[in-house]
Structure 1
Amino acid sequence: RLGRLHTVRAVTSDPAPPPAAYLPLSGGLYRDCLVHDFDILRWVTGREVTEVYATGSDLGPVMFREAGDVDTAAAVLTLDDGTLATATATRCNGAGYDVRMELAGELDQLGVGTDERTPLTSAEPTGPAAPVKPWPGFLERFAPAYEAELAAFVDVVRGERINPCDGREALHALRIAEACELSRRERRLVHMAEIPESPQEE
């Protein structure tokens, strides 16, 4: 339907920062928050990330600077077929909890995660107004997904099905997050080949 996919845009915005004590333990915005976008990017496209360039801003609450973290981040990711993806995140989106993705191809464009509760207001006179009840957080937004995950986990423990998502998938997403953190810290393009796939490679 989309034809050749050329652009993917992922957005994750928390409505308010977490407690200050959580930040030093969180792993940072790329590992704690955007790692989910990296995971879904691989799943949706069926492609691997080959290189990343990431940056971040810590101009929000001082606790982010104190923790060596950022409150807002952006990454440009190149996939192995040349598709470009952007992933942005912030801890300071007062409008509400916003998680969505756009996929653009040569023939069509598709949006995922947009509904009547998406905390986005159009500036156009005829566009959508602010939602009456925007999503307040991830627990409410993704409750059905968490229930499905728990049901799948129980089935796996009972031996009734094979694990549909083992630790290798999480490792791939984490490696992308690690590459983004390295890119932000060193202000440079990072190739995924620089990030070890196992401790033995270090």
Structure 2
Amino acid sequence: MIRFCLFGSGRMGDLYCQIITRNPNAELVGVINPNLPSAKRLTDKYGGQAFASFDDCLQHSDIDAAIVCSPTNTHLEIISQVSRAGKAILCEKPIDLSLERVDQCIALVEEHRVPFMVGFNRRFDPTIAALRAQVVEGKIGKLNMVLLTSRDPAPPPIEYIERSGGYFCDSTIHDIDLACWITGETPVEVFTSASCLVDEGIGKAGDVDTAMTTLKMPSGVLCHINNSRKAVYGFDQRIEVFGSGGMLQTQNQRDILLSHSTAEATDAKPLLKHFFLERYAQSFEQEIAEFISSLESNIPPSVNQEDGRRALEVALACGQSLREGRAIKL
């Protein structure tokens, strides 16, 4: 049984509390938030105790691991506290918005030798994992191209945009991680072009909402990522991998797929999964299950601090490419 404390009580905190309470190998000990009523809102629903600080939690409870899903600018301080206490950490992406601060986090984790996992949950989606496994097995021969489409159903509030760290660190970073994971490579060159076409408020906040990114891998494999903050038809999540021996594709998941066939025509009226909480629900369950298994078996998690650093470095290069209008060498 792995005993968890959880930092943060927003949307992701609520999700992780649900998953922990459903897992027979996990126990929710506490939720930590300086805004105590917010933490208590979750513990009233899922159990455990609300704490205003990590020190309070340690004084009252024995824990094995912490899940960090608080605002990104709090991660370094929390990782410092938890690693010094010798507890395992699962940290939501990005680890931080600064490579220097990410390096400080990595140094702390390595100094105190605590297990550390980054929340790139999409790796644990069964369909995506199956695609990657077939690539690794050589089922489509020599890899040539990877195309990733990730489009949200609607943009988030401007208040979120203003503190998100920018589109590339907030959203594209998931696709960057998948591109690296699927190819087994780290980009040597990044080029991004982007616009603000969905909401002019996003542009006024200094961000973009429509982007295309090309990553070139050391082997020459090309990866194309296209992102949009608004797809009127739902949460659009597709991957295509093209190689010398064929192609693999993941399709969008749907709530309803109703076909109507007559002598005149056949049509289908699908509804895409609403957003990431629905589309990737199983991936979050699998992510926590692997984290627990890694702690019980003393095997390092499959997604670690170096993966988090690499994805952030590429995401920051996307921003630099957009600002300077050129390809960025890594």
Q: Bin the TM-score by the shorter chain.
A: 0.7 to 0.9
Q: Structure 1 residues 155 and 106 mapped into 2: Cα distance closer, same or farther (>3 Å)?
A: closer
Q: Does 1:31 align with 2:169?
A: yes
Contact 1:97 1:118 in 2 (8 A): no
Contact 2:252 2:272 in 1 (8 A): no
Q: Does 1:54 align with 2:54?
A: no
1:117 is aligned to: 254
> Counterpart of 1:27 in 2: which secondary structure?
coil
Partner of residue 179 from structure 2, selected from 41, 50, 68? 41
SS state at 2:272 partner: coil
- Please, which of 177, 186, 196 is the counterpart of residue 324 of structure 2? 186
Q: Flag the structure with larger Rg.
A: 2
Q: Distance in 2 between matches of 1:78 and 1:6?
A: 11
Report the counterpart of residue 199 of structure 1 in structure 2: none
Compute the displacement of 1:138 (Å).
0.2
1:77 to 215, 218, 235: 215
- Aligned partner of 1:95 in structure 2 is 233
Determine which structure has the larger helix proportion and give its number.
2
Please, what is the CA RMSD of the aligned residues?
A: 2.2
Query: 2:284 is matched by which residue type in structure 1?
Result: Y
Alpha-carbon distance, 1:118 to partner: 9.0
- Tell me the matched-pair count: 185
Instruction: Letter of the 1:162 partner, please give it.
Output: P
Cα separation, 1, equivalents of 2:266 and 2:300:
45
Deviation by residue 1:73-106 (Cα, 9 ceiling, x = unmatched): 0011101100111001000111100112101112
SS of the counterpart of 2:237?
strand
Give the C-alpha shift of residue 162 in structure 1.
2.2
Name the residue aligned to 2:292: 154
Between the aligned partners of 2:156 and 2:244, the Cα distance in structure 1 is 39
Alpha-carbon offset, residue 107 of structure 1: 1.7
Alignment-derived partner of residue 195 in structure 1: none
Is 1:105 matched with 2:243? yes
TM-score (norm 2): 0.53
Unaligned runs of 5+ in 1: 120-125, 193-202
Q: Deviations over 1:13-52 (max 9, x none)?
A: 0000001100011111111111011101111111111101
Whichever residue aligns with residue 38 of structure 1, its letter is I
Bigger relative contact order (CA 8 A; separation at least 6): 1
User: Within 1, Cα distance between the matches of 2:286 and 2:170?
Assistant: 21
SS in 2 for 1:49: coil
Change (3 A) 1:30 1:130: farther
Q: Sort the Cα spacing of 1:91 and 1:128 in 2 relative to 1 into closer, same or farther, 3 A.
A: farther
TM-score, normalised relative to structure 1: 0.84
